[in-house]
Amino acid sequence: MMNDLSILLYIWFVLFIVMKRKRGETIGYQKDELLLETTSLNLKYNITFQLETNTHIYQYAKDKDVEIIYKLNEIIRRAISDEHYIDMEAIKRICAL
Overall number of domains in the chain = 1
Average pLDDT over the chain reads: 82
Q: Which domain holds residue 18?
A: 4-96
Confidence of residue 30 (pLDDT cuts 50, 70, 90): confident
Average pLDDT value for residue range 77-86: 94
More confident: 59 or 11? 59
pLDDT of the residue at 49: 95
pLDDT tens for 41-65 read 999 999 999 999 899 999 999 999 9
The b/e string for 36-75 (b: 16+ C-beta within 10 A; e otherwise) is: bbbbbbbbebbebeeeeebbebbebbeebeeebbbbbbeb
Share of the chain above pLDDT 70, in %: 70
pLDDT of the residue at 74: 93
